[in-house]
Chains A and B, each alone.
Chain A
Amino acid sequence: MKDERLSRGSIINYVIALAAIFSLNFILPRLMPGDPLHAIYGDEALVAMTPEMEAHLIRQFSLDKSWTEQLSAYLIGLLHGDLGFSYYYKDQVSAVIMGALPWTVLLTALALALATVIGVVLGIEAGSRRGRLLDSGLMTSLMFLGGFPMFFMGILLLLIFGVSLGWAPLSGAVTPYAGLEGLDYFMDLLRHLALPVTALVLVLVGDTFLITRNTVVSKLGEPFVLTARAIGCSEFAVKYAHTGRNSLLPVVTETGMRIPHLLIQTLFIEIVFSYPGIGSLLNTALYSRDYPLLQGILLLVTVLVLTVNLLVDLLYRKLDPRVRYAH
């Protein structure tokens, strides 16, 4: 009973948060001085607009009607999946965003997987050597890297490996017009992924490392480790199969909770590397003041973040029954 009430409470939070973003999207353009159509579409778009188009748009947004009718027109549009028209790309905003989304998902998923695996392995190794040189060295250096703003980490890698050494391509996701296929295409993809993913992993890995290390340290003193040693398990098995496996729970939660943060950071990294995902789209939208596109992107990111949060919330309750009774 209590469990259900809790998750309903968190669902209400997500609904409130979503409503807040919707209302900001609705109110902000209408708060701007002057004609709301100018604010919704930006001055640049209106230069190219014919009177007929303008009349059509005013009708579409119900701008000649009352606030309540404007709001219902906006909500009905959203329910139809209509995010508006991007004048910069001359296409529906939803179509533009869907074209970029796979690149962002690829980058984020790869970085998350690598950072988690590396962080867990390093954390177990450091935790089982607590206080020695490897442990303190890893702690300091990973915390130092973790303090970096991600976009500057990206810039650093770009300058060192891209600009100075010329080892990696400077921008994009694939070599344009190369006509590569099969394995060559795959290798080209990886070469373009290398720097952005490395930048993300270098900054991300510290948190996973710290959580794993601290959990491993606290588990090493427990009786089951002594038992495992006593029955003659190898050191490797004690470290990974016994201690490591029992330390995974906080890692899973921590990783889930960091996905929203990672998503935002990926947007910045994409801008640095001109990677053709949502982040570069956001940059273009800001640069060309393509407001419908900007709103669509931020709406999508919000929905993604809220969904991930909700899933992590539910998953955590399933994984650790103690949480249900913790409140």
Chain B
Amino acid sequence: MHIDPLRAIASDRLALTGLAILSAIVLMAVLAPVITFFPPDHYTGRIFSPPSLSHPLGTDSMGQDIWSRLLFGARTTFLVAASVAILSTTLSVLVGASAALMGGLYESFWMRVVDAMSSIPPIIIMILVAAYLRPNLLVMILLLSILSWPGGARIVRSQVLSLKERGHVYASRTFGASWGHILKTHIAPELGPLLTAMMIQDARRAVFMDAGMGFLGVSDPMIISWGKMIQQALDFTYLDVWKWWLLPTGLALSLTLVGLCFLGFSLEAAMDPRLMRRSVEGAGEQC
């Protein structure tokens, strides 16, 4: 079944909404130094100042410009999301595809590892390790990737298993094609949309876990992150400051997650033939 992820997204209102939200936040993250007036760690002289022209969202308890921290926090979020998505999906493909193609003891070993790893909630291990080691951003990204590849590996393995039994792959093998060639020309292109969906899923989980660690106060203290901003702001709910500190930060985090969720859902729906048939039926009924 050939699905073009781009076309699936372009024809779905839900996916377009998600994409619009995400691109707006990414754009703001990229332009952060241009559209802010203060560096995020700069002490501006006044704490808890209400929104004004020079401080669009006021200042926080440390006298830092919240608007600026919000935008630079977006950079951290997307750095973590993108790195984890790429790393974890690469691991999934390496393990899943090699297990499916090699089989035997190698396959059963990795599938046992996958099963065991997916039965512990990753966030528990994250909290445990983070509490002891206070990881910096790089260690955090590595940890998140190591914890999130197993689910994807299982999916890749089952896909490759079914793909390698297809007619055109048999045909290719009778012509003497190597496994490397088959993987490149026949299997990898078919995996494309699946991998896109997996990367979105991984990115969503990474954003959530990173924010969660920040919220629990066990992330790198030198990094500006939305989770940590929420944790700090939560201590001052008795002041009016939450309206421009806690609320925008939490909404930015939520919108990012909702955007990824919409995008992932519509991709998965496009790939699920049962759901596809249903939406076709639904469309027919409306007409």
Contact = CB atoms under 8 A, between A and B. Distances in A.
A191 interface: no
A260 B121 contact: yes
Contacts of A283: 216
Contact of A20 (B120, B283, B286): B120
Interface string A71-93: 00000000000000000000000
B216 A155 contact: no
A16 B254 contact: no
B250 interface: yes
Contacts of A261: 121
Interface stretch (B79-87, B111-119, B136-144, B167-175): B111-119
B250 A20 contact: no
B132 A39 contact: yes
A17 B116 contact: yes
A163 B116 contact: no
B217 A287 contact: yes
A216 to B, nearest CB: 11
A301 interface: yes
Contacts of B127: 282, 286, 294, 298
Given A131-B282, A147-B254, A14 B129 contact: no
A221 to B, nearest CB: 8
B261 A152 contact: no
Nearest to A19: B116
B211 interface: yes
A283 B46 CA distance: 30
Contacts of A271: 215-216
B165 interface: no
A313 B250 CA distance: 36
A81 to B, nearest CB: 20
A159 B278 contact: no
B124 interface: yes
Interface stretch (A25-33, A182-190, A248-256, A319-327): A25-33
A72 to B, nearest CB: 22
Nearest to A283: B216
B247 to A, nearest CB: 7
Contacts of B275: 214
A271 B127 CA distance: 15
Contacts of B129: 24, 28
B131 A158 contact: no
Interface majority SS (helix, strand, loop, mixed), chain A: helix
A70 interface: no
A31 B286 CA distance: 63
A130 interface: yes
Interface residues of A, number: 55
A217 interface: yes
Contact of A158 (B216, B237, B257): B237
Interface in B253-287: 253-254, 257-262, 265, 274-275, 278, 282-283, 285-286
Contacts of B230: 151-152, 155
B246 A131 contact: no
Contacts of A302: 120-121, 124
Nearest to B287: A131
A295 interface: yes
Contacts of B261: 143, 146-147
Contact of B119 (A14, A151, A152): A14
Contact of B131 (A131, A291, A305): A291
A106 to B, nearest CB: 21
B128 A151 contact: no
A45 B118 CA distance: 35
A179 to B, nearest CB: 26
A309 interface: yes
B20 interface: no
Interface string A1-31: 0000000001011101100110011001101
Interface of A: 10, 12-14, 16-17, 20-21, 24-25, 28-29, 31-32, 39, 130-131, 140, 143-144, 146-149, 151-152, 155-156, 158-159, 163, 170, 214, 217-218, 260-261, 264, 268, 271-272, 282-283, 286-287, 289, 291, 294-295, 298, 301-302, 305-306, 309
Interface of B: 14, 112, 115-117, 119-121, 123-125, 127-129, 131-133, 208, 211-212, 215-218, 230, 234, 237-238, 242, 246-247, 250, 253-254, 257-262, 265, 274-275, 278, 282-283, 285-286
9 contacts: A16-B112, A20-B116, A24-B125, A147-B262, A149-B253, A159-B246, A264-B124, A282-B127, A298-B128
